[in-house]
Amino acid sequence: MVEKAISILGKDAIKLLLIDRGYLDAAALYKLKHSYGIDFIIPGEERLHAIQDAIALTKLAKHQFVEMKKGVFVAGCPDIGSYSSYGDEKGNRGTINVLLVKDHNTNYTDDPDRIFSYLTSLPMKLGAKKLEDLQALYDIYRAYKKRWVIENNAFKELSEHWNLTKKPGGKFNTICCHLYFTLAAYNLVLLFKSSYGSRFVSMSLSTFREKALKTADMVIVYAGELFAVFPLTEFMKLVKTGPPLVGPIE
């Protein structure tokens, strides 16, 4: 897939890949960096010797976690050599950098001492204490969090709210039209959300409706050339009937 993207976009078009843990493959990561020149960030696994060695390093006084932001502690462990399969079929081997994070602000876990680990090719310094070095570590952590925006507010939203994965038919042209029009409509809504400010862009469609529009369900009642707009609950009171007895209103 990377080779196809490079052939279309050009060699230097892709600078950084944020990769799901499910694609953790040392040889593939090595090829990304050393064959294509593409940096990567990917969550680690506790079973990996490289992660275990990095955590062991933080037990030393000069390599302990440092609080970069309120409640966010980081530790950088560069040039870890125990990721033994990080190499190519010719026997070339490389070292990898490990970022360790304790985030007391996350809702992902109830354990404040839970360590989140990331394997990366991005540069870092061992025992970082200077502000610019700590900022580099924090930027790696913050960069990977953007992947969840892509996952939740792009693919997940397109699947759940825009029915992208539901084919309207089996013909090739039908599927293409479905994809093109769905993505076009999605991008139009994204542009509309951006008009409310950057904080709305990353919101899902359902959240955006609640927080940005803040409009209750409304009913339009026509009487000849006149019309009136009522909140649904008020309309129910006017007609003196409950929700179970009310059918579709046009």
Residues contacting residue 37 through CB under 8 Å, at least 6 positions apart: 11, 12
Residue 24: CB partners within 8 Å, gap ≥ 6? 42, 43, 44, 45, 119
The pTM score is 0.68
Average pLDDT of the chain is: 85
Residue 32 in contact with residue 2, Cβ under 8 Å?
Answer: yes
Q: How far apart, in whole angstroms, are the C-alpha atoms of residue 14 and residue 27?
A: 19
The first and second tokens of residue 189, run together, are 């809504």
Over residues 134-161, the mean pLDDT reads 85
Distance CA 98, CA 50 (A): 8
Q: Quote the pLDDT of residue 249.
A: 47
Lowest mean pLDDT among 82-91, 94-103, 138-147, 239-248: 239-248
The predicted-structure confidence for 201-243, as pLDDT tens digits, reads as follows 767 776 766 665 566 678 888 988 889 888 877 888 887 755 5
In angstroms, rounded to a whole number, what is the distance separating the alpha carbons of residues 168 and 176? 10
Give Cβ neighbours of residue 195 (< 8 Å, ≥ 6 apart): none
Residue 107 has a pLDDT of 74
